[in-house]
């Protein structure tokens, strides 16, 4: 059903040079360890475990680094709260996908495999996640909320509300909440109800008899999803600043009103996280879209993988819930606050105090592109865009111009994530209605964006566009757009956009990505070949410029790495710098280890999970790994190879992961103009290697330690530098 990349990687190194560090020995300025000890009797497996860090633990370590942003008192308060919400969202997905996948792969006839290594792995994941959640709520309750209160932003519990506030909350409950509640008393006719993934619910223990004289003792109350989770009280009820309360608190304080004639003994909010990976038998289904629509309806009720309850939830109620969801006790998470911390992002949206946020930032309009016809400009030079420091609007204008231009005969584009509202998609619909040949490759299996993509596919087809769904069994993750224009003399010229990020109007403001607009005949023609491959399912032609997965991307990466190793062996400098979201592919890692042994200097900027062990004598002593966590999510993929001063620079949609290299359609593309190569290096690589504010350095044991400016060394933040160099950053004095 699932095909996760699961590695049980103990911590050991040659001559026992590296040992695991238990969670409680990690220093405050270090991210939690990504390595662990497991005894293996297989020599080949032991050797493999020596040189690779564990994926799951490395992914959890990434969330410790995000949590460190919430701890950072130099960051504005609402931004710190946002980082707490991001950790919550990341943990949700980690359980929905990674933990669920591990459990599914290690279950036989509904029973977990009792293999010691697997049991140890689950225990370690559970321990780390419990510690992470505990720290998350400690920060919320001991720092973030008290400091917000001092700034006039009050998130009030029932005990903290005065009489006037309680009266208003009571009215709100009766008017807005109670009519939408449906308590379910459990009995043989009313068994435990279906509980939607990540929904807010309450379990209630009752005394006495019901209206029919029966002693039903348990009831379930589902919180309506249509109601906001953060409710603002009227201004006149807030003496200093603004007051808010949570929907969960409102239901808590009036839950007895739902059970007239019964005594409420105890109650607790709870939330269950379920397996949310969609699965369809792609070899059997005749219509992937219809099959996927059916799966979307059942996603909310996948196998349970985590249960969150209030910290004061009675033991008997927690045990009852665990039994209902078939969960073991180690997957119970008692929390001191709302069971869904992600919902506190609504509080951030309510508050209007600018001093509690990052200074406003706007990408500067690129003056030389502003009034020029984009196709005329592209015939003269390529355009390199660095988002969000430069506006994504240029890409939207490129597609919009193509849609309106009578000389454009065809537009082709891949869509992985684009959101529910998109000017770019509307332009494609306009182009189709104007009679242009519009082909859109929509990825239906883009996790958590499936519904939006299906909706756009329907709209595009109704407008007359040709919509295809890529290659069965492979996600189309490449970010490509192609415009074909009939020009002077009647010949067809190709214009292309290739990017490292999604065509999504929201993420382009918060994710760092590169995009290349080009009329280079070779590159643009090969983009067309990729589209022909995707729609016709033909074997792709040999490509001279693009590296295409699953056919050539991994071999080309390894070839480039080995070329640097050859150069180093011949006595000349070998140099590799690569930036990506994750590094997990073992073949690529082994090639990097071999290059390091040959003397190649290697710097890797890996935001998330990394299985490579840097700095191990005799294995990776020439490799350094760092992760940068800042205001924007680092998302660009850049591959740099010195290649005897040729300075080969590739931008890509692909991380160095097995899934990207073999189970997706991915494209890496070269930056050919020297001036643009220099820009990629000077904007996308060098600042991040210099960063001593938001950078974390990975050691050979799997620990991340925050980089700090040495004495007399100036602090340098890559993202701040790029905002000042490329964008328009407001300056203000923080309170």
Q: What is the pLDDT of residues 425-451, one digit of tens each?
A: 899 999 999 999 999 988 776 455 566
Write down the pLDDT at residue 264. 92
Q: Which residues have CB under 8 Å from 648's CB, separation 6+?
A: 560, 639, 640, 641, 642, 670
Is residue 98 a known part of a binding site? no
- Tell me: is residue 369 an annotated ligand-binding position: no
Q: Which regions of the chain carry the CATH code 3.30.1840.10?
A: 153-345
Return the residue matching tokens 């009679």.
Answer: 435
Provide the pLDDT for residue 442: 83
| Token digits of residue 84 | 């707490």
Strands 201-207 and 184-185: unpaired
Q: Are strands 601-606 and 623-628 parallel, antiparallel or unpaired?
A: parallel
Cα(113)–Cα(705) distance, integer angstroms: 35
User: 219, 225, 264: which is closest to 247 by C-alpha?
Assistant: 225
Q: What are phi and psi of 223, to 5 degrees?
A: -80, 135
pLDDT recorded at residue 213: 64
- Altogether, the residues listed in the chain come to a count of 735
**Residue 631 is labelled as binding a ligand:** no
Q: Tokens representing 296?
A: 């979307």
- Ranges for all domains in the chain classified under CATH 3.30.870.10: 372-543, 548-729
Q: Give the CATH number of domain 548-729; options: 3.30.429.10, 3.30.870.10, 3.30.2350.10, 1.10.150.120.
A: 3.30.870.10
Query: 46: which residues sit within 8 A by CB, 6+ positions away?
Result: 10, 12, 40
Nearest Cα to Cα of residue 65 among 687, 713, 626: 626
Which of 637, 590, 627 is closest to 612 using CA atoms?
Answer: 590
Q: Which residue has the tokens 């309170």?
A: 735
Tokens 């032991």 locate to 46
Q: Is 607 annotated as a binding residue?
A: yes
Give 667's strand partners.
548
Both tokens of 372, joined, read 């020029």
User: Where are the extended beta strands (E) located within 176-311?
Assistant: 184-185, 201-207, 218-222, 230-232, 242-246, 263-274, 304-310
Q: Is 417 flagged in the annotation as binding?
A: yes
Q: How distant, in Å, are the alpha carbons of 373, 479, 703 from that of 377?
A: 6, 22, 48
Cα 399 to Cα 413: distance, rounded to the nearest angstrom: 10
pLDDT value of residue 102: 84
User: How big is the CA angle at 626 (ends 621 and 631), to the nearest 5 degrees?
Assistant: 175
The whole-angstrom separation of Cα 82 and Cα 581 is 21
Residues forming beta bridges with residue 190, ordered by sequence position: 187
**In terms of DSSP bridges, do strands 547-549 and 575-580 run parallel, antiparallel, or are they unpaired?**
unpaired
Query: Which residue matches tokens 């050991």?
Result: 12
Q: Which CATH number fits domain 14-134: 1.20.58.310, 1.20.1250.20, 3.30.365.10, 3.40.50.150?
A: 1.20.58.310
Q: What is the dihedral of CA 644, 650, 656, 658, to 10 degrees?
A: -110
511 belongs to an annotated ligand binding site? yes
Quote the DSSP letter at residue 699.
-
Q: Cα(674)–Cα(178) distance, rounded to whole angstroms? A: 66
* Spatial separation of the C-alpha atoms in residues 345 and 246, rounded to whole Å: 12
Query: Is 477 labeled as catalytic in the residue annotation?
Result: yes
| DSSP type of residue 99 | I
pLDDT of residue 467: 86
Q: Parallel, antiparallel, or unpaired for β 648-652 and 637-641?
A: antiparallel
CA distance 255 to 618: 64
> Distance from first CA to last CA of the chain, Å, rounded?
53
Give the helix ranges, DSSP H, for 583-693. Answer: 586-597, 658-662, 674-679, 686-690
Query: What is the pLDDT, as a whole number, of residue 13?
Result: 29
- CATH number, domain 153-345, options 3.40.50.460, 3.30.1840.10, 3.40.1350.10, 3.30.1330.60: 3.30.1840.10
Q: Give the largest CA-CA distance in the chain.
A: 90
Q: For strands 575-580 and 637-641, give the pairing.
A: antiparallel
Paired tokens of 25: 């020995």
- CA atoms of 419 and 387, how far apart (whole Å): 17
**Distance in angstroms (rounded) separating the CA atoms of residues 65 and 70:** 9
Assigned token pair, 158:
């029932």
Report the alpha-carbon distance of residue 384 to residue 421 in Å, rounded.
25
Q: What is the DSSP string of 465-519?
A: -EEE--BTTBEE--EEEEEEEE-GGG-EEEEEEEESS-S-TTGGGTEEEEEEEE-
Other C-beta atoms within 10 Å of 76: how many? 17
CATH of 372-543, picked from 3.40.50.720, 1.10.760.10, 3.30.870.10, 2.60.40.10, is 3.30.870.10
Helix then strand then coil, in percent of the chain rounded to 5, is: 40, 25, 35
In DSSP terms, 495 is beta-bridged to 483
Distance, CA of 599 to CA of 645 (rounded, Å)? 17
Take residue 6 and report the two structure tokens written for it: 């699961």
Alpha-carbon gap, residue 318 to 670, rounded angstroms: 56
Backbone angles phi, psi at 307, to 5 degrees: -125, 120
**Among candidates 482, 418, 414, 406, which has minimal Cα distance to 442?**
414
How far apart, in Å, are the Cα atoms of 694 and each of 63, 708, 721?
14, 9, 12
Per-residue 3-state assignment (H helix, E strand, C coil) for 522-562:
HHHHHHHHHHHHHHHCCCCCCCCCCEEECCCHHHHHHHHHH
- Distance between CA atoms of 516 and 656, rounded to whole angstroms? 21
For 280-320, how does the pLDDT look when each residue is reduced to its tens digit (9 = 90+)? Answer: 444 444 444 454 444 445 556 688 999 999 999 999 999 99
User: How many Å separate Cα 282 from the centre of its chain?
Assistant: 25
d(CA 458, CA 444): 12
Asked if residues 366 and 88 have their Cβ atoms less than 8 Å apart, the reply is no
The 8-class DSSP code of residue 713 comes to P
- Token pair for 193: 């109800």
With a cut of 70, list the residues of the chain below it in pLDDT: 1-49, 107-112, 188-189, 211-215, 277-301, 367-372, 419-421, 445-453, 729-735
Sequence ranges of the chain with CATH classification 1.20.58.310: 14-134
Q: Which of 254, 386, 387, 477 is catalytic?
A: 477
451: which residues sit within 8 A by CB, 6+ positions away? 296
């Amino acid at each position: 059903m699932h095909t996760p990349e699961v590695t049980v990687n103990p911590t050991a190194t040659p001559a026992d040079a590296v040992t695991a560090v238990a969670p409680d020995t990690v220093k405050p300025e270090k991210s939690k360890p990504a390595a662990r000890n497991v005894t293996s009797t297989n020599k080949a497996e032991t050797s493999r475990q020596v040189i690779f860090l564990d994926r799951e633990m490395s992914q959890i370590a990434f969330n410790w680094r995000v949590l460190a942003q919430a701890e950072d008192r130099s960051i504005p308060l609402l931004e710190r709260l946002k980082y707490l919400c991001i950790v919550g969202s990341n943990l949700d997905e980690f359980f929905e996908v990674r933990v669920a996948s591990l459990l599914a792969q290690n279950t036989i006839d509904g029973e977990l495999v009792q293999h010691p290594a697997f049991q140890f792995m689950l225990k370690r994941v559970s321990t780390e996640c419990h510690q992470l959640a505990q720290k998350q709520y400690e920060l919320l309750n001991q720092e973030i909320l008290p400091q917000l209160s001092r700034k006039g932003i009050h998130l009030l519990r029932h005990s903290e509300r005065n009489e006037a506030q309680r009266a208003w909350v009571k009215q709100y409950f009766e008017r807005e909440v109670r009519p939408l509640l449906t308590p379910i008393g459990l009995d043989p006719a009313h068994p435990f109800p279906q509980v939607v993934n990540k929904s807010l619910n309450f379990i209630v223990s009752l005394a006495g008899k019901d209206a029919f004289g029966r002693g039903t003792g348990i009831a379930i109350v589902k919180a309506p999803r249509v109601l906001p989770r953060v409710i603002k009280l009227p201004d006149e009820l807030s003496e200093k600043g603004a007051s808010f309360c949570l929907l969960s608190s409102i239901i808590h304080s009036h839950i007895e009103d739902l059970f007239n004639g019964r005594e409420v003994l105890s109650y607790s909010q709870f939330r269950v996280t379920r397996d949310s990976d969609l699965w369809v038998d792609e070899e059997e289904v005749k219509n992937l879209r219809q099959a996927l629509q059916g799966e979307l309806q059942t996603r909310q009720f996948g196998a349970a993988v985590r249960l969150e309850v209030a910290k004061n939830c009675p033991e008997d109620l927690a045990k009852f819930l665990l039994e209902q969801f078939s969960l073991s006790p180690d997957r119970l998470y008692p929390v001191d606050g709302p069971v869904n911390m992600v919902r506190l992002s609504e509080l951030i949206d309510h508050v209007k105090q600018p001093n509690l946020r990052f200074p406003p930032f706007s990408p500067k309009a690129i003056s030389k592109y502003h009034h020029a016809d984009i196709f005329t400009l592209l015939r003269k030079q390529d355009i390199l865009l660095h988002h969000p420091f430069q506006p994504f609007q240029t890409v939207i204008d490129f597609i919009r111009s193509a849609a309106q231009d009578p000389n454009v005969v065809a537009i082709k584009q891949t869509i992985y994530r684009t959101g529910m509202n998109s000017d770019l998609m509307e332009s494609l619909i306009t182009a189709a209605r104007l009679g242009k040949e519009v082909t859109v490759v929509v990825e239906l299996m883009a996790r958590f964006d499936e519904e939006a993509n299906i909706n756009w596919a329907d709209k595009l087809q109704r407008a007359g566009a040709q919509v295809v769904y890529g290659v069965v069994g492979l996600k189309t993750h490449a970010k490509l757009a192609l415009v074909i224009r009939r020009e002077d003399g009647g010949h067809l010229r190709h214009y292309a956009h290739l990017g490292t990020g999604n065509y999504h109007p929201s993420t382009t403001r918060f994710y760092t990505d590169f995009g290349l607009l080009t009329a280079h005949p070779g590159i643009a023609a090969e983009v067309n070949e990729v589209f022909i491959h995707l729609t016709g399912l033909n074997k792709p032609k040999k490509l001279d410029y693009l590296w295409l997965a699953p056919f050539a991307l991994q071999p080309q990466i390894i070839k480039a790495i080995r070329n640097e190793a050859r150069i180093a062996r011949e006595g000349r400098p070998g140099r590799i710098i690569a930036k990506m979201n994750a590094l997990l592919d073992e073949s690529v890692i082994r090639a990097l280890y071999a290059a390091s042994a040959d003397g190649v200097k290697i710097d890797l900027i890996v935001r998330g999970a990394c299985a490579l062990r840097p700095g191990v004598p005799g294995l990776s002593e020439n490799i350094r790994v760092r992760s940068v966590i800042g205001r924007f999510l680092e998302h660009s993929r850049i591959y740099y190879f010195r290649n005897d001063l040729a300075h080969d620079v590739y931008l890509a949609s692909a991380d160095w992961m097995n899934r990207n290299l073999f189970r997706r359609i991915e494209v890496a593309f070269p930056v050919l103009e020297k001036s643009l190569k220099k820009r990629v290096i000077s904007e996308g690589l060098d600042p991040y290697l210099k960063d001593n504010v938001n950078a974390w350095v990975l050691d050979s044991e799997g620990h991340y330690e925050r980089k700090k400016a040495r004495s007399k060394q100036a602090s340098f933040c890559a993202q701040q530098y790029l905002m000042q160099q490329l964008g328009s950053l407001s300056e203000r004095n923080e309170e």
